[in-house]
Amino acid sequence: MWSSDRRSFLLLISAAALSGCGFTPAFGPKGGATGLLGRVETDMPQTPDDFALVRRLSERLGPVEKARYRLSYTVTTDVLGQAITPEGATTRYSLTGQVDYTLHDSRSDAVLLAGKVSSFTSWSASGSVVATSSAEDDAHRRLMRMLADQIVTRLLAQASTLPK
């Protein structure tokens, strides 16, 4: 077989396998995730990390139009020095974060889903004080973005089990 024929054959087999398994895109016409768009209200953010997390959740799930669900969360972060010079100066930091979340029914406040996500990132502290501070702020924003994406992925995976 020519390589182009082989690619066409593999593409055809992949498409047939997906159509036969009942695969439905999450945001497709019959996808379960469409019930989440514009319907998940988050608790009010209190810290800069909370604000970054809620902003990303809003980007992914859309602004709240008619709240059907309430997402409560607890953000925990920890900073650890990673690269330390012989003189004792830390030149790189690691930032770990965890979010415990709970999705509630906004009508009855019943817990529908609960979970925990975690991730990490780092930043360099070898520049000026301003550059280091800016890098740390950026690391916090990146971490909250990663954690929010993980939460949304889990919500999407379980969206079809949620009450309408």
Residue 77 confidence (pLDDT): 98
pLDDT tens for the chain, residues 1 to 164: 455 677 777 777 776 665 556 666 666 666 667 789 999 999 999 999 999 999 999 999 999 999 999 999 999 999 999 988 899 889 999 999 999 999 999 999 999 999 999 999 999 998 899 999 999 999 999 999 999 999 999 999 998 888 88
Q: At 23, is the secondary structure helix, strand, or coil?
A: coil
Residue 21 confidence (pLDDT): 60
Q: Does the predicted TM-score (pTM) go above 0.85?
A: no
Token pair 């309408």 in the structure block, residue: 164
Residue 39 to residues 9, 45, 47, 110, 151, Cα–Cα distance (Å): 42, 18, 23, 16, 15
Full set of structural domains in the chain with CATH: 29-161 (3.30.160.150)
- Which amino acid type is present at position 158? Q
